[in-house]
Amino acid sequence: MLEELTAVFPILSCILFLPVVGAIVLWFVDDEDTVRSSTLTIALVELALSVFVLLRFVPESAAMQFAERVQWIPALGISYHLAVDGISVLFVGLTAFLTVLVVVYSWDTIRHQVKLYMMCLLALETTTMGVFLSLDLILFFVFWELMLIPSYFMIKLWGGGAERHYAALKFVIYTLLGSVFMLVGIALLDINYHQWASLHHSDHAYSFDLLELLTVPIPIGQQILIFWLMFLGFAFKAPVFPFHTWLPDALLEGPIGMAVVLAGLKLGTFGFIRFSIPLLPDASKSDTVVMVVVVLGLCAILYGAWMALVQSDFRRLLAYSSVSHLGFVVVGLFALNYQGLQGSLLTMINLGFSTAGLFFIAGFLYSRQQTTQLAAFGGMARQVPLLATFFLIIGLASIGLPGTNGFVGEFLILLGAFEAKWWVGSVAVLGVIFGAAYFLWYYERSMLGPLGSAVKSTMSDLQLREMVIAVSLSIMILWIGLYPSPFLRIMNGSVQALVDRLHQEKTAALDNSVTEGR
């Protein structure tokens, strides 16, 4: 069982509930400007707390840190169990960071029902934090589902597209459908624990606790069944090709703020590395699973990039480029070696800066032209040079230019994939070429060349708030690209533990079968 460092002060609970408590307080505020500034304050405090956790986090350690555990439904072995380790702690920081930026972005772009919007946003932050912080699978599941409520309303009420109602419903149904499978998987894990515990006279009859579930062996047949059930849950959410069609709709129809969160926080693939791979190592290693998942990943890389090449709407392009990037993440995860896992984890974080950053850029474009269709752009670099510059910086990060964060993650993924199976790495490398093609082609047609006829001559360059967003994202992009050391050190311990588990488990499982054979 992994080591746990218990928190002296329940800081994770503070992080978890501060936004939702803030949202409730907002209910009583009437003035719109006060709503904005108090939301920003809450988000900043939340960010400060997260940064504090990151600073106090012991790097190069596999331990679960800042752990809090309270019994919730003891009869069922459900507990309120929060902790962070090298896998999840960066997501906490990222969530807090992006929420601040979304609040800044929404400051003057959301004009109606400001209070409700901000409440939804804060509720969304709490539920997202819950997903990253929970170590109890039921608790995790609750947050996973609750997340849909604010998301649904954000898309439906503040979306700009005509199809937003359809998109919101599609998003919810898709995710719900996936989570039904996941819930069955969770139940099976619990039942397996129960059987094992009964056999070994353990006092905990039931448990949904990740750390406890990790201690019991699971027969390989069970593992594979559970793996596929959970896979569906995570794959629908991620989304992994071919379950991705909700994404372009949701990103296009929903508000920019929602798109940033949906595209920036890779919850689905987080599920793989948090639960599927550690809990079901033998299934994750089995040939069929690896083959199917990796081939889906490769399809996603190429298919997504190809689709992105022909999109004329920038937000649809970004949706497909997300599909492509998630393909990279999946391929890296199921390389099941150090570089692959580390690279995937880093890439998930990176996408929170680059893909989310490009959605902010899409937002800046939308604020100016009321659309993200290519027809409305052309030669804008002359009129909005700053926007064009940051567009390029963030875009280059998303296609993995060395010196930006994207490269470090992508390189590690490709290296890991190549080490695991050379042909997987070789096919995935093609994504690097396509990435350059779709991004630069779009950039060329929207920003370069002669001024487009639909471009307004009164267009202004980036405003102060927009600069804050663009500059802070660029700083993160260059920081991780040039000096990723602090981030890698945070991850290393947990990644090493995961790799060890994947490689030990073979012998452990063998022992287990020997005991059963006797």
Residue 473 · residue 101 · CB < 8 Å: yes
Q: Which is nearer to another protein, 29 or 429 (CB)?
A: 429
Q: Which is nearer to another protein, 160 or 379 (CB)?
A: 379
Contact string (CB under 8 A) for another protein, positions 134-173, x = contact? --------x--xx--x--xx---x------------x--x
**Which residue among 426, 463, 504, 513 contacts another protein (CB under 8 A)?**
426
Q: 183-218: b or e for each residue (b if 16 or more CB lie within 10 Å)?
A: bbbbebbbebbbebbeeeeeeeebbbbbbbbeebbb
Residue 131 · residue 143 · CB < 8 Å: yes
Q: Check residue 306 for interaction with another protein (CB under 8 A).
A: yes
**Which residue among 48, 56, 403, 463 contacts another protein (CB under 8 A)?**
403
In the complex, the smallest distance separating the C-beta of residue 263 from another protein, rounded to whole angstroms, is 18
Q: Check residue 495 for interaction with another protein (CB under 8 A).
A: yes
Coil, strand, or helix at residue 284? helix
Contact string (CB under 8 A) for another protein, positions 10-49, x = contact? ----------------------------------------
Q: Check residue 467 for interaction with another protein (CB under 8 A).
A: no
Q: Which is nearer to another protein, 57 or 153 (CB)?
A: 153
Q: Which is nearer to another protein, 281 or 395 (CB)?
A: 395
Q: How far apart are the first and last CA of the chain?
A: 26
Helix runs in 29-160, H state only: 32-56, 89-109, 114-133, 137-146, 148-158
For tokens 């267009």, what's the residue? 459
In the complex, the smallest distance separating the C-beta of residue 8 from another protein, rounded to whole angstroms, is 30
In the complex, the smallest distance separating the C-beta of residue 454 from another protein, rounded to whole angstroms, is 16
**Inter-CA distances, 488 with 304, 344, 405, 483, Å:** 28, 12, 12, 10
From the list 16-24, 97-105, 285-293, 422-430, the region that binds another protein by CB under 8 A is: 422-430
Contact string (CB under 8 A) for another protein, positions 191-220, x = contact? ---x-----------x--------------
Q: Which of 402, 394, 396, 406 is nearest to 462 (CA)?
A: 394
Q: Check residue 427 for interaction with another protein (CB under 8 A).
A: no
In the complex, the smallest distance separating the C-beta of residue 271 from another protein, rounded to whole angstroms, is 19
Q: Check residue 496 for interaction with another protein (CB under 8 A).
A: yes
**Which residue among 188, 437, 467, 468 contacts another protein (CB under 8 A)?**
437
In the complex, the smallest distance separating the C-beta of residue 9 from another protein, rounded to whole angstroms, is 29
* Cis amide leading into 281 (omega within 30): no
Q: Check residue 58 for interaction with another protein (CB under 8 A).
A: no
**Inter-CA distances, 7 with 1, 65, 130, 214, 302, Å:** 18, 7, 17, 22, 45
Copy the structure tokens of residue 373: 């269709």
Q: Which is nearer to another protein, 11 or 380 (CB)?
A: 380
**Which residue among 447, 470, 497, 502 contacts another protein (CB under 8 A)?**
447
From the list 61-69, 75-83, 126-134, 283-291, the region that binds another protein by CB under 8 A is: 75-83
From the list 270-278, 284-292, 349-357, 376-384, the region that binds another protein by CB under 8 A is: 376-384
Q: Which is nearer to another protein, 307 or 387 (CB)?
A: 307
Q: Check residue 373 for interaction with another protein (CB under 8 A).
A: no
For tokens 């201690």, what's the residue? 215
Q: Check residue 451 for interaction with another protein (CB under 8 A).
A: yes
**Which residue among 41, 48, 70, 242 contacts another protein (CB under 8 A)?**
242
The number of helix segments (H) and strand segments (E) in the chain equals: 22, 3
Q: Check residue 295 for interaction with another protein (CB under 8 A).
A: no
Alpha-carbon span 377 to 380, nearest angstrom:
7
- How big, in percent rounded to 5, are the helix, strand and coil portions of the chain? 75, 5, 20
* Cis amide leading into 242 (omega within 30): yes
Q: Which is nearer to another protein, 356 or 447 (CB)?
A: 447
Q: Check residue 307 for interaction with another protein (CB under 8 A).
A: yes
Q: Check residue 502 for interaction with another protein (CB under 8 A).
A: no
Residue 303 · residue 323 · CB < 8 Å: yes
What residues contact 191, with CB distance under 8 A and at least 6 apart?
none
Q: Which is nearer to another protein, 16 or 67 (CB)?
A: 16
Q: Check residue 129 for interaction with another protein (CB under 8 A).
A: no
**Which residue among 450, 458, 514, 516 contacts another protein (CB under 8 A)?**
450
Alpha-carbon span 478 to 272, nearest angstrom:
28
Residue 250 · residue 175 · CB < 8 Å: no
Query: Where are the extended beta strands (E) located within 224-332?
Result: none
Alpha-carbon span 18 to 40, nearest angstrom:
13
Contact string (CB under 8 A) for another protein, positions 333-372, x = contact? ----xxx--x------------------------------
